[in-house]
Amino acid sequence: MQQDTQPIAGARTRPLPPRPVLVPAEGENGLFSQSWFPVALAAELAPGQVLGLPFLDGRIVVFRGPDGKPQAMSAYCPHLGADLSVGKVVDSRVQCAFHHWEYDVSGACVKTGVGDPPPPAACLFTFPTQERFGIIWVFNGETPLFELPQLPYPDAELHFGAYRMGQELRCDPWVFAANTPDMQHLKVVHKIQFDAQDPHELVKWHEFGMEFSYSGTHQGGVPIANTAGILGTSVFYRWGMYGGYWRCNVTGFSMPRPGHHEVFSCSLVRAGPQAQEHLDDVLRVSRRTVGEDKDILNTIHYRQGLLTKADVTLGRFLRYLRSYPRAHPSADFIN
């Protein structure tokens, strides 16, 4: 008996390459990578303000505690579920707008509006939170697995400026993070020329990221000597000489909901008489570089497909991502 489907005469039949093991999408099986994610610029959170923000496909609030430090917590009041972002800060506590229960920075309800003792279970989920590089960062987990980049100069010797892109890109944060080990794109999209061979051999891998140093030229023949790395799945850093001065970028990719992220970036230069001039230049190059990636990442349908020799480091990064820790301990609180 003849088969229903026959190859069309002359058509090339070619077996598909073996299906690779894929990097899990953020939110797959309800899990997200355990990384530091930017949620807001530090300048967007004034003392006394409660910001409601999307995070991990749920909702959080961020406010400043008595010491001015930001604290991120689940947004929904355990009493009847009001969104705490419509409440206010009273004595460094978040007061729910509905019945005036108040939550301190540890997430515990310490007071109700009518004087009933708060139920012991009336607690919010509190996330590890820090303000660094002009950005508020929140860790997906109960305890951070790694620290944000430690720069080679103390803060007092640095001058910085932070910005957010103002537009979400339609891909997971790790897709942007995978740009750093993508040597092909560094050369053709950003026009970096390495002094030596592609620096695959120079990449140092560790449990929560990778780092490599290289020298070469950037667009316009600007000499560069960089150390660049990725931490977790959402933090990029790069520092070193750019032309005649030292500069650094620390960039984070946010995690509002699966398949989306926004770029938050800080540029830093050495303090001194020319600091502002250098900072303006670094911010210009930073925005230009993100702009070069933007349309590609906003439309990408990421496939972990056919790699070549120039993709050695990218291939290893994809393997790193596949086994990266994923969890969602705040799921019951923020949804």
Query: Of the listed pieces 92-100, 140-148, 220-228, 258-266, which binds ligand FES according to CB under 6 A?
Result: 92-100
Q: Does 77 bind ligand FES (CB under 6 A)?
A: yes
Residues 35 and 230 sit within 8 Å (Cβ to Cβ): no
Backbone angles phi, psi at 3, to 5 degrees: -70, 150
Q: Does 82 bind ligand FES (CB under 6 A)?
A: yes
The residue count of the chain comes to 335
Q: Does 98 bind ligand FES (CB under 6 A)?
A: yes
Helix (H, G, I), strand (E, B) or coil at 212: strand
Residues 261 and 176 sit within 8 Å (Cβ to Cβ): yes
Helix (H, G, I), strand (E, B) or coil at 86: helix
Q: Does 111 bind ligand FES (CB under 6 A)?
A: no
Report what 293 binds from ligand FES, Fe ion, none; CB cut-off 5-8 Å by kind: Fe ion
- CB-nearer residue toward ligand FES: 87 or 141: 87
**Cα 74–70–251 angle (5° rounding)?**
95
Q: Does 310 bind ligand FES (CB under 6 A)?
A: no
Residue from 44, 79, 187, 216 in contact with ligand FES (CB under 6 A) = 79
Integer angstrom CA distances of residue 106 from 34, 101, 102, 196, 277:
21, 14, 11, 51, 42
Report what 122 binds from ligand FES, Fe ion, none; CB cut-off 5-8 Å by kind: none
Residue with tokens 């026959």: 6
Report what 257 binds from ligand FES, Fe ion, none; CB cut-off 5-8 Å by kind: none
For the beta carbon of residue 10, count every other beta carbon within 10 angstroms: 5
- CB-nearer residue toward ligand FES: 80 or 90: 80
- CB-nearer residue toward ligand FES: 79 or 294: 79
Query: Of the listed pieces 9-17, 34-42, 292-300, 308-316, which binds Fe ion according to CB under 5 A?
Result: 292-300
Q: Does 99 bind ligand FES (CB under 6 A)?
A: yes
Q: Does 293 bind Fe ion (CB under 5 A)?
A: yes
Q: Does 101 bind ligand FES (CB under 6 A)?
A: yes
How far apart are the C-alpha atoms of 160 and 134, rounded to whole Å? 8
Query: Which class for 252: exposed (0-12), middle (13-18), buried (19 or more C-beta within 10 A)?
Result: buried
How far apart are the C-alpha atoms of 194 and 202, rounded to whole Å? 12
Q: Does 96 bind ligand FES (CB under 6 A)?
A: yes
Helix (H, G, I), strand (E, B) or coil at 97: coil
Q: How far is the CB of 79 from ligand FES (least distance, A)?
A: 3
Applying CB under 5 A, which residues contact Fe ion?
Answer: 179, 293
Applying CB under 6 A, which residues contact ligand FES?
Answer: 77, 79-80, 82, 96, 98-99, 101
